[in-house]
Amino acid sequence: MINNKIKLKRFIYDNGWDCYHFLNEYVKALNDVMDLPSYKMLSKDYMVKEILQRREVIFQDDLNIEKNELVDSGVVDEKKVDRIIDALTLHCQIAPSDNKYDILMNKARYYNKHPVAMMFSGIRWIK
């Protein structure tokens, strides 16, 4: 069950908008048939509306940095660019305020030097 914005953004990133809209319409139809309360559907619609209004990162195209810029600046090799862009996307889904060119460039340098940190970038640690 998707109950927060980070999980919702990851679901849309992994499966795409088409799958999300299909499942959303399917659940709405089930709610109408079964007479379930509609507050959960309204909360998901509100979350999506809020994500789109704030222009938060869902896909790689939403980042303020491109693959070509990383390669041209010499920060990243061409082999690692796709993995680093994926890690930056996951990072910006968790921290939407970090979607700035300077912060993303520093994160890309960090991920290039520390591949283990890049592999664990999508994991949320608990104390």
Mean pLDDT of 40-62: 90
- Quote the longest CA-to-CA distance of the chain: 58
Q: Can you say how many angstroms the Cα of residue 77 is from the centroid of all Cα atoms in its chain?
A: 23
Amino acid identity for residue 76 in this structure: V
Residues ≥6 apart with Cβ < 8 Å to 101: 64, 65
The helix/strand/coil state of 27 is: helix
- pLDDT, tens digit, 9 for 90 and up, residues 66-97: 999 989 888 888 888 999 999 999 999 999 99
Report the alpha-carbon distance of residue 10 to residue 26 in Å, rounded. 20
- 62 is written with which tokens? 């939403």
DSSP code of residue 64:
S
Can you tell me the distance from the alpha carbon of 46 to that of 50, in angstroms, rounded to the nearest whole number?
A: 6
Binning pLDDT at 50, 70 and 90, where does residue 48 land? very high
Question: Is residue 1's pLDDT more than 70?
Answer: no
Q: What span, in angstroms and rounded, lies between the C-alpha atoms of 18 and 66? A: 24
Is the pLDDT score of 100 beyond 90? yes
Q: Please give the angle made by the CA atoms of 55, 78 and 62, to the nearest 5 degrees.
A: 5
